Amino acid sequence: MDSDQKLRVSYYDYLSGNLKYATNESGSWNYTTIDTLGDVGLYSSIAVDSNDKVHISYFDNTEYDLKYATNESGSWIIQTLDSIGTVGVSSSIAIDLNNNIHISYYFMGMSYLKHITNESGAWVASNIDSLGLSGGQGFATSIAIDSNNKLHISYYDFAAGDLKYATNKSGPWVKTILDSAGDVGYYSSLSVDSNNKIHISYFDRTNRDLKYATDVTNLWVTAIIDSVRDTGRYTSLKIDSDNKVHISYMNYTNSDLMYTSNRSGDWIKNTVESAGDVGRFSSIRLDLDKNVHICYYDATKGCLKYAHTNSPTIVMNKINIPLHFDLKQNYPNPFNPSTSISFSLLSQSFVSLKIFDLIGREVATVVSEELSSGDYSRQWNAAYISSGIYFYRLQAGTFTETKKLVLLR
């Protein structure tokens, strides 16, 4: 979220294998493809600096590298930051008070937690936790920076199944095991409050619970927040201006997007959306009015979604953000005499949806207008058309796709 309370979202288009970026800074959602070189964009993390410039870390699944993209110079610039081994899985990015970039990430080849920064003017990478070469130090990492420009990182020890924490607040890196009760620490998310206290949400893979760790009392305390079976995956945590905690996560049993907060004192849990398989890869942000904003993936519809509150309540407004242009198969098919044709628009476009017969003659125009990005459905009534095989073609900007439909009387 930028200084004007506008949202910036990085995400992976699994169909094209591209890194993409969405923002509503102009008032409506606009989308940009940032990197198309190979299978790129997995495990992306985004941060906005004090000049409202965007910085994204992500994994190149073709070259197995850590990559970085920014629009700091006006146009998008892409860099490979670390290419030694398989690096960049589950990266997390943060920006310090001087607009220096800090990225924590996992070096899969040697099972290290690593950190890279441009603080000195050039990118410098270092190992933070390399204990246990047969383990997985640094997986599922999350990084945040306190008001003293000190770094705080939560991460998962894959071999031991522990939640771990590293900080350089006293100078050298100090590593601590926060929770070792079972297989814990997966999907961790860390934030720092205004008193420089740490808050971490994470998933307990043994008991399938959402858990929370904090040092607000100067001692680390862990607690179970939601113990409904198989809940707490894809967790994301942020702190509001009153130092209250807000967490989005997935109930994997019901495939629901969940939200919980302790702003009223007790942890109150709410279901944000339960329509289909929703809640994966959620990311939560808070604006200056303490409104909640959550982006997440709808696996049923194959789209990025956005839920937000207009006031500090639990009532969420939800918006579909298409991942790409798409033309769905009509339903029903075969049909008589009408059928529904659905399509998705990645960006605002002039849209043409027409019906053609077997020899290419146009028999109907269903859509011919400018439409904003989003999901649409249009009916075609073929009451006066003969039975047979027809084709429907969607054109939106440079996107064109044709599918077959059957009118059967």
The three-state (H, E, C) secondary structure of 129-187, written as one string? ECCCCCCCEEEEEEEEECCCCCEEEEEEECCCCEEEEEECCCCCCEEEEEECCCCEEEE
Distance CA 85, CA 354 (A): 50
Domain final position from 322, 353, 374? 322
User: Is the separation of the CB atoms in 198 and 215 below 8 Å?
Assistant: yes
Mean pLDDT of the chain: 90
Tokens in use for 399? Answer: 């996107």
- Assess whether pLDDT exceeds 60 at residue 313: no
Non-local (6+) Cβ contacts of 27 within 8 A are none
CATH number at residue 401: 2.60.40.3080
**Same domain for 83 and 109?**
yes
Residues 15-55: tens digit of each pLDDT: 788 999 989 888 878 888 999 998 898 889 999 999 999 99
Say yes or no to pLDDT of 310 above 80: no
* CATH number for 142: 2.120.10.70
pLDDT band per the 50, 70, 90 thresholds, residue 345:
confident
Average the pLDDT over each of 165-174, 283-292, 299-308, 319-328 and give the range with the smallest value: 319-328
The verdict on residue 181 lying in a domain is yes
CA pair distance 91, 87, nearest whole angstrom: 9
3-state DSSP assignment of residue 262 = coil
Same domain, 286 and 347: no
Domain termination site, one of 322, 357, 377: 322
1 occurs within a structural domain: no
Q: Is residue 2 part of a domain?
A: no
pLDDT value, residue 316: 47
Task: Identify whether 100 is part of a domain.
Answer: yes
Q: Of 64, 46, 42, give the one whose Cα is nearest residue 55.
A: 46
pLDDT for 132 beyond 60: no
- Residue 405 neighbours by CB under 8 Å, 6+ apart: 330, 333, 334, 335, 339, 355, 389, 390, 391, 392
My answer on whether 197 and 93 are in the same domain is: yes
Both 275 and 306 in a single domain? yes
DSSP letter at 100?
-
Residues 351, 392, single domain; the answer is: yes
Give the helix/strand (H/E) hosting 153: strand 151-157
pLDDT 10s digits, 209-228: 999 999 999 999 999 999 98
Give a yes or no: residue 3 inside a domain. no
Claim to verify: residue 298 and residue 334 sit in the same structural domain: no
**Is 383 inside any structural domain?**
yes
pLDDT at residue 131, as a whole number: 65
Which residue range is the domain that position 346 belongs to?
A: 326-407
Q: Which of 254, 289, 322 is the last residue of a domain?
A: 322
Is residue 54 a contact partner of residue 8, using CB atoms and an 8 Å limit?
Answer: yes
Say whether pLDDT at 264 is over 90. no
- Domain membership of residue 350 (yes or no) is yes
- Tens digits of per-residue pLDDT, 364-387? 999 999 987 778 899 999 998 999
Split into its structural domains, the chain has a count of 2
- d(CA 68, CA 41) in angstroms, rounded, equals 10
- 124/115 Cα distance (integer angstroms): 8
With a threshold of 0.95, does the pTM exceed it?
no
pLDDT, tens digit (0-9, with 9 covering 90-100), for 104-129: 998 887 778 999 999 999 999 999 98
Confidence of residue 137 (pLDDT cuts 50, 70, 90): low
> Is residue 197 domain-shared with residue 346, that is, in the same domain?
no
Please state the rounded mean pLDDT for residues 185-210: 95
Instruction: Give me the residue label for tokens 């409104």.
Output: 291
Same domain for 334 and 281, yes or no, is no
Rounded to whole angstroms, the Cα distance separating 281 from 296 reads 5
DSSP H/E element including 339: strand 338-345
110 with 21, same domain: the answer is: yes
Rounded percentage of the chain residues whose pLDDT exceeds 90: 67
Confidence (pLDDT) at 24? 87
Q: Tell me the mean pLDDT in the region 276-294.
A: 91
What digits encode the pLDDT tens for the residues 221-247?
A: 999 999 987 899 999 999 999 999 999
Residue with tokens 């084709």: 391
Asked whether residue 310 falls in the same domain as residue 368, the answer is no
The alpha carbon of 81 is separated from its chain's Cα centroid by a whole number of angstroms, namely 21
- Residue 259 forms part of a structural domain: yes
For residues 43 and 148, membership in a common domain is answered with yes
- 229 and 248 belong to one structural domain: yes
